[in-house]
C-alpha cells in the first residue's frame, strides 16, 4: 500500500465497474480485501473488454481449427499457413468509443494497437484495413467525425509505413452517437520465427520496452465497456494519444531483437496496459511474474503503482528475455533510441507480485485475474420488433417510375458511391507489393520471392444482420469470402469484430447469439476457420443501440498471383456473365433505404452450398485466366454491380445488358439484393472453356451482355422482341459523376 491509496470498499469497487458479486468473489478468492492496486487489476482484467464476460459462452462453438491454422484465437493474432516457410497473421479490433470521444487520436491509436498485435507475433505488418460506420454524412457533426477518423487512420499508418489495402465505410442513423472504427492489420511471418505472448523460464528477465508511461487512458478498458451517456464528456481526459514514429521504431527494434534469439515471449500493452500483459503472459505458461513498478520508465511525476499498472500509454511492449541475453536486448533498443528496462522476472509461484520501491502492493494469482474471470450467460430474447420487420413486403411499395434515375440515386448514395476520398489519404503502396489497391472487391498483395499472393477484405451488411442476425452474419462471411474469390483468392481464415449494443439487454444478446450462430454455420459450410476476433459491446448512446455489426475481416491466398482479377471491365467485346441464383429481395436493400428510408423485409435465402460452388467456379475460371473481370453483387444489386464494373477501373467501358424476362418488377430484378451473385466478363478466347467450366461446377449462371461503348444499357424482355424495353440507358459520364461525387460532396 502506498500512503495516499484510498480505502478499498464495496462502493469503490462499484465505482470501478465491478458488481457486488464480483467484488465478493475477489475477496473470497484472495481470502482478504484487495489492496487498491489489486482492485485496479481486477477491475481492468474483469472488464468486458478484457474478460469477454458476456460473450465467451457464445463464442465457444466457433470453428477455429483447420489444417492451415498455425495459431487460432487466444494469442495476440491468429496465424495461417501460406505454404513454404511463410505464414500470415491478421487480426481486427474495434476502437469505437475512443474514436467518438477524440476521432483523430482514437482512430490513430486503434491502428497502432492492432499493428502491435501483429508485430508481437514476429511478423512484419504488410497491410491494414479499416471498417467504419457513421451516422448521416450530411450532419456536420458526423462530417467532422469522418474527417477526424480518416485523418487519424491515415496519419498513423502512413507515418508507420504500412499500406492500406481496403475497408468499408457505411452510414446509418443508428451510428450517429456511436460510430464504429474497426482496424485490421495483416503481417507476414516466417514459420520458424513466430513469437508468442508467453512468460516462460523461471528467472528470465522481464523487460519494459518502448514509450514512457503517463497517466493516459487509465481505465480505458472499463470505459470501453460502458454505455455512452451524458457523463461521457467528463470521462474525456482518459483518451490516449498516439505516436506512430515511436511505433515504427518499436517495430524495427522488436524484429531485430527477435532475430538475435534473445526474446522468449512478447506481448503488447494495450487495454489495461501492464496489468494485462503481466498477468496474461504468465497465465498462458502457468508461471508467475514479479515486477518492481517504480522501475517502469515514466513520463509524469508522482505516479502511483495503481496508475503505472493501469496506464494505457501507447507504443509499449512487455517482453521476456532469455537470462544472460539482457545486453542484446538493451543494445538493440538503444540503437533505435528506445527504453528497454528490466522491471522484473518470471517466477514459478503462479502469482503476479507488484512491488513499489520494494514494498509489495499487489500479490494475486494470475489465473484469478485471467482464466477465472467471471463468465455470464445472460438471458436472450427475440426482440418484439423482428415480427414487424419480417412482415413488411417491400413490393407493397410502388416501383420507381424511372429506373435510370433510381440507379443514379443509388450510385450517389454515400453508402455506394466511390470511397476514393477516403483511401487517397492512405498510403496504399509502401512495400511495393500492392497489386490490387483499394477500389476493387479485395486488396491483393504479392509476396516477394514467391509466386503466391494474399488477398484481404472486410465486409458486413449490418442492415441484413439487423433484419435477420443469423442469416445476416452468415451473409457477411459469404460476402467476404466472395470478395476474395472474385479476386482469385481462396479464403484461409477470418477474424471478426462483433460490434453490438449492451449485452445486458436480452434483445441485444439475442442478436449476438444469433449472429454468432450464423457466423458458425457459414464458417463450417465454407470451411473457413476463425483465427481471432474481438467483441465490442455497449455500442449505444442514450438507449439507442447500433445496428448489429459483425464485421468480417478475411484473408486468402492466390497460388499464382498472376492469375488475379479486378472488378472492372477491361476489354470491349468481352461477354458478361451473371453467376449465382436469381433469388433476390428488396428487403433490407439499398434501394429501400435510398428511396423510402426504410430498413425492413425479408432477406433473399442464402444457400451455402450454392455460395461455395459459385466461389469455387469463379476461382477456377480466374485460375484458368478466362475472366477479364469479376465483381461481387452487393448493395444496390445487379444494376449497381454492372455500373461499378463500367466506371470503377482505370478506363471507363460501357456495357449492353439483356436480361430476358424479368417479371413485373424491374426494380426487384435490377436492385434486389441476394447472396452468391457475381458479374464476370469473359475473355473472347475463353468463352467455350468458361461455359464448360460452369457446367462442371453445376453453377447457376447465364450470359447477360457484352462489354463496350460509352454507355450502360440494360434491357429486359428479350432482345429485339416486341415488348423488349430499355430499362436503363445512361451515358457513363453521368454514371461516373453520380458515383464519383456521391460521398465526397459531404466531406472536404
Partner 1 sequence: MRARVLVRLKPSILDAQGVTVKRALAGLGFSEVQDVRVGKVVDVELDGLGPDEARRRVDEMCARLLCNPVIETFTVELLTDTR
Partner 2 sequence: MNFGVVIFPGTWSDCDFHYVIGEVLHQPVRYVWHRDANLADFDCLILPGGFSYGDYLRAGAVAGRSPVVEALPEFTARGGLVLGSCNGFQILCEARLLPGALMRNECLQYRCQSTYLLVENPETSFTRAMRPGQVLKMPISHGEGKYHADAETLRRLWAKNQIVFRYCTEDGRVAKEANPNGSLDNIAGIINEEGTVLGLMPHPERAAEAAVGGTDGTLILHSILGTLVEDGSFLKR
Ligand X SMILES: Nc1ncnc2c1ncn2[C@@H]1O[C@H](COP(=O)(O)OP(=O)(O)O)[C@@H](O)[C@H]1O
Q: Which residues are catalytic?
A: 49, 95
591 vs 104: CA distance, rounded Å: 32
Strand bridging mode 205-210 / 124-134? unpaired
Binding of residue 243 to Mg ion (CB under 5 A)? no
Residue 313 lies near partner 1 (rule: CB under 8 A): yes
What is the smallest separation between the CB atom of 422 and ligand X, expressed in angstroms? 5
Q: Which is nearer to partner 1, 46 or 100 (CB)?
A: 100
Beta bridge partners of 554: 457, 494
Which string of DSSP letters, residue by residue, matches 222-239? HHTTS-B-GGGGTTGGG-
Question: Is the distance from CB of 444 to CB of 453 less than 8 angstroms?
Answer: yes
- Cα(73)–Cα(52) distance, integer angstroms: 13
Minimum distance from residue 694 beta carbon to ligand X (Å):
22
Which residues touch 257 (CB under 8 Å, ≥6 apart)? 263, 319, 328, 329, 332, 333
How many residues belong to the site for partner 2 (CB under 8 A)?
Answer: 30
Out of 435, 484, 555, 735, the residue judged to bind partner 2 by CB under 8 A: 435
User: How far, in Å, CA of 689 to CA of 442, rounded?
Assistant: 26
> Given the complex with partner 1, which of 248 and 524 has the nearer CB atom?
248
Does 341 contact partner 1 by CB under 8 A?
no
Options 38, 102, 496, 658; binder of partner 1; rule CB under 8 A? 102
The site partner of 105 among partner 2, partner 1, Mg ion, none (C-beta below 5 to 8 Å per kind) is partner 1
DSSP output for 329-388: HHHHHHHTT-EEEEEEEEESSSEEEEEETTEEEEEEEHHHHTTTS----------THHHH
What is the smallest separation between the CB atom of 632 and ligand X, expressed in angstroms?
A: 6
φ and ψ at residue 296, rounded to 5 degrees = -65, 125
Q: Could you tell me which stretch among 293-301, 400-408, 625-633, 663-671 binds Mg ion (CB under 5 A)?
A: 625-633
Count the alpha carbons within 13 Å of 579 in the hemisphere toward its beta carbon. Answer: 34
Query: Using the rule CB under 8 A, is 101 a contact of partner 1?
Result: yes
Rank residues 160 and 392 by Cβ distance to partner 2 and give the closer one: 160
Cβ count within 10 A of residue 153: 30
Establish if 747 lies at the interface with partner 1 (CB under 8 A): no
Q: Check residue 236 for interaction with partner 1 (CB under 8 A).
A: yes
Buried b (16+ CB within 10 A) or exposed e, 266-278: bbbbbbbbbbbbb
φ, ψ dihedrals at 697, nearest 5°: -80, -10
Residues 365-404 that bind partner 1 (CB under 8 A): none
**Binding track, positions 150-189, relative to ligand X; x by CB under 6 A:** --------------x-xxxx--------------------
Binding mask 147-176 for partner 2 (x = CB under 8 A): ----x--xx--xxxx---------------
| C-beta closer to ligand X: residue 131 or 345 | 131
Does residue 438 interact with ligand X by CB under 6 A?
A: yes
- Nearest CA-CA partner of 157 in 251, 258, 79: 251
Q: Can you tell me which residue has the cell 503472459?
A: 281
Interface with partner 2 (CB under 8 A), residue from 424, 688, 702, 731 = 424
Q: Of 380-388, 405-413, 431-439, 734-742, which segment contacts partner 2 by CB under 8 A?
A: 431-439
Burial of 145 (0-12, 13-18, 19+ CB in 10 A): buried
Q: Which of 673, 602, 746 is nearest to 145 (CA)?
A: 746
Q: Is 119 in the site for partner 2 (CB under 8 A)?
A: no
Interactions with partner 2, residue window 239-268 (CB under 8 A): 243-246, 248-249
Q: Is 257 near partner 1 (CB under 8 A)?
A: no
Q: How far apart are CA 599 and CA 363, in angstroms?
A: 53
Q: Is 644 in the site for Mg ion (CB under 5 A)?
A: no
Q: Would you tell me the crossing angle of helices 20-30 and 36-45 to the nearest 10 degrees?
A: 120
- Residue 688 interacts with, from Mg ion, partner 1, ligand X, none (CB under 5-8 Å by kind): none
Q: Cell 492469375 belongs to which residue?
A: 563
Query: Closest by alpha carbon to 270, among 242, 301, 228, 291?
Result: 242
Binding to ligand X (CB under 6 A) within 123-142 occurs at: 130, 132
3-class DSSP state for residue 266?
strand
Which span sits near Mg ion by CB under 5 A: 19-27, 78-86, 556-564, 629-637? 629-637
Site string for Mg ion, 272-301 (x = CB under 5 A): ------------------------------
DSSP state of 582: S
Taking contact as CB under 8 A, which single stretch among the options 236-244, 268-276, 570-578, 668-676 is the one that binds partner 1? 236-244
Q: Name which position in 632, 635, 644, 667 contacts Mg ion (CB under 5 A).
A: 632
441 binds Mg ion (CB under 5 A): yes
Q: What does 661 interact with, of partner 2, partner 1, Mg ion, none (CB < 5 to 8 A by kind)? A: none
Residue with Cβ nearer partner 1 (335 or 688): 335
Scanning the structure block, which residue is given the C-alpha cell 449476438? Answer: 512
* The pairing of beta strand 490-499 with beta strand 627-632: unpaired
Is the Cβ–Cβ distance between 579 and 453 less than 8 Å? Answer: no
β-sheet bridge partners, residue 453: 446, 558
Is 746 a residue that touches ligand X (CB under 6 A)? no
Chain residues binding partner 1 by CB under 8 A are 101-102, 105, 211, 214-216, 236-237, 239-241, 243, 245-246, 299-300, 313-314, 337
Chain residues binding ligand X by CB under 6 A are 130, 132, 164, 166-169, 419, 422-423, 438-441, 459, 483, 632, 634
Chain residues binding Mg ion by CB under 5 A are 441, 483, 632, 634
Amino acid at each position: 500500500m502506498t500512503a495516499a491509496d484510498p480505502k478499498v470498499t464495496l462502493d469503490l469497487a462499484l465505482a470501478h465497474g465491478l458488481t457486488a458479486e464480483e467484488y465478493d468473489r475477489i475477496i473470497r478468492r484472495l481470502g482478504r480485501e484487495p489492496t487498491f492496486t489489486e482492485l485496479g487489476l481486477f477491475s481492468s482484467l474483469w472488464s468486458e473488454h478484457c474478460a469477454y464476460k458476456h460473450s465467451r459462452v457464445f463464442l465457444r462453438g466457433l470453428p477455429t481449427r483447420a489444417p492451415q491454422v498455425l495459431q487460432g484465437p487466444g494469442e495476440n493474432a491468429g496465424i495461417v499457413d501460406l505454404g513454404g516457410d511463410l505464414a500470415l497473421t491478421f487480426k481486427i479490433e474495434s476502437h469505437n468509443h475512443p474514436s467518438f470521444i477524440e476521432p483523430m487520436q482514437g482512430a490513430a491509436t486503434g491502428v497502432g494497437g492492432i499493428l502491435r498485435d501483429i508485430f508481437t507475433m514476429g511478423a512484419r505488418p504488410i497491410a491494414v484495413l479499416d471498417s467504419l460506420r457513421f451516422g448521416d454524412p450530411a450532419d456536420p457533426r458526423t462530417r467532422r467525425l469522418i474527417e477526424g477518423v480518416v485523418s487519424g487512420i491515415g496519419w498513423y499508418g502512413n507515418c508507420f509505413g504500412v499500406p492500406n489495402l481496403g475497408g468499408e465505410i457505411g452510414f446509418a442513423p443508428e451510428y450517429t452517437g456511436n460510430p464504429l472504427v474497426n482496424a485490421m492489420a495483416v503481417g507476414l511471418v516466417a514459420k520458424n520465427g513466430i513469437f508468442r505472448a508467453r512468460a516462460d523460464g523461471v528467472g528470465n528477465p522481464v523487460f519494459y520496452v518502448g514509450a514512457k508511461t503517463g497517466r493516459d487512458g487509465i481505465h480505458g478498458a472499463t470505459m470501453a465497456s460502458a454505455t455512452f451517456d451524458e457523463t461521457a464528456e467528463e470521462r474525456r481526459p482518459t483518451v490516449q494519444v498516439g505516436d506512430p514514429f515511436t511505433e515504427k521504431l518499436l517495430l524495427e527494434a522488436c524484429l531485430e531483437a527477435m532475430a538475435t534469439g534473445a526474446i522468449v515471449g512478447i506481448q503488447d500493452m494495450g487495454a489495461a496496459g501492464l496489468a494485462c500483459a503481466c498477468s496474461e503472459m504468465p497465465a498462458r505458461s502457468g508461471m508467475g511474474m514479479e515486477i518492481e513498478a517504480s522501475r517502469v520508465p515514466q513520463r509524469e511525476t508522482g505516479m502511483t503503482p495503481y496508475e503505472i499498472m493501469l496506464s494505457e500509454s501507447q507504443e509499449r511492449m512487455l517482453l521476456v528475455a532469455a537470462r544472460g541475453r539482457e545486453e542484446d536486448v538493451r543494445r538493440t533498443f538503444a540503437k533505435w533510441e528506445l527504453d528497454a528496462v528490466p522491471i522484473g522476472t518470471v517466477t514459478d509461484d503462479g502469482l503476479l507480485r507488484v512491488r513499489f520501491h520494494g514494498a509489495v502492493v499487489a500479490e494475486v494469482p494470475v489465473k484469478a485475474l485471467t482464466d477465472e474471470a467471471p463468465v455470464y450467460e445472460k438471458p436472450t430474447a427475440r426482440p418484439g420488433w423482428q415480427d414487424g420487420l419480417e412482415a413488411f413486403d417491400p413490393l407493397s411499395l410502388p416501383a420507381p417510375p424511372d429506373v435510370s434515375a433510381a440507379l443514379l440515386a443509388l450510385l450517389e448514395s454515400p453508402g455506394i458511391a466511390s470511397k476514393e476520398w477516403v483511401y487517397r489519404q492512405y498510403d496504399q503502396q509502401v512495400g511495393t507489393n500492392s497489386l490490387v489497391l483499394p477500389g476493387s472487391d479485395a486488396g491483393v498483395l504479392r509476396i516477394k520471392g514467391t509466386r503466391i499472393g494474399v488477398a484481404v477484405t472486410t465486409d458486413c451488411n449490418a442492415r441484413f444482420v439487423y433484419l435477420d442476425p443469423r442469416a445476416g452474419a452468415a451473409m457477411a462471411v459469404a460476402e467476404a469470402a466472395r470478395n476474395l474469390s472474385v479476386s482469385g483468392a481462396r479464403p484461409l481464415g477470418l477474424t471478426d469484430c462483433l460490434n453490438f449494443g449492451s449485452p445486458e439487454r436480452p434483445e441485444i444478446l439475442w442478436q449476438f447469439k444469433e449472429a454468432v450462430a450464423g457466423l458458425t454455420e457459414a464458417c463450417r459450410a465454407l470451411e473457413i476457420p476463425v483465427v481471432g476476433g474481438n467483441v465490442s459491446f455497449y455500442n449505444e448512446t442514450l438507449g439507442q443501440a447500433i445496428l448489429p455489426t459483425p464485421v468480417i475481416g478475411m484473408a486468402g491466398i492466390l497460388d499464382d498471383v498472376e492469375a488475379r482479377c479486378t472488378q472492372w471491365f477491361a476489354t470491349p467485346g468481352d461477354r458478361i456473365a451473371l453467376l449465382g441464383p436469381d433469388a433476390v429481395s428488396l428487403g433490407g436493400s439499398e434501394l429501400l433505404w435510398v428511396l423510402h428510408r426504410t430498413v425492413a423485409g425479408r432477406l433473399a435465402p442464402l444457400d451455402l452450398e450454392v455460395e461455395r460452388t459459385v466461389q469455387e467456379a469463379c476461382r477456377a475460371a480466374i485460375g484458368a485466366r478466362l475472366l477479364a473481370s469479376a465483381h461481387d453483387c452487393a448493395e444496390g444489386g445487379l444494376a449497381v454491380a454492372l455500373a461499378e464494373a463500367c466506371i470503377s477501373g482505370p478506363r471507363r467501358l460501357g456495357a449492353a445488358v439483356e436480361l430476358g424476362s424479368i417479371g413485373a418488377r424491374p426494380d426487384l430484378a435490377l436492385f434486389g439484393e441476394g447472396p452468391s451473385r457475381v458479374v464476370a466478363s469473359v475473355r473472347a478466347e475463353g468463352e467455350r472453356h468458361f461455359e464448360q467450366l460452369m457446367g462442371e461446377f453445376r453453377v447457376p449462371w447465364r450470359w447477360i451482355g457484352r462489354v463496350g461503348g460509352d454507355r450502360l444499357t440494360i434491357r429486359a424482355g428479350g432482345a429485339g422482341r416486341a415488348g423488349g424495353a430499355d430499362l436503363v440507358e445512361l451515358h457513363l459520364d453521368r454514371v461516373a459523376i453520380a458515383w464519383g461525387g456521391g460521398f465526397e460532396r459531404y466531406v472536404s
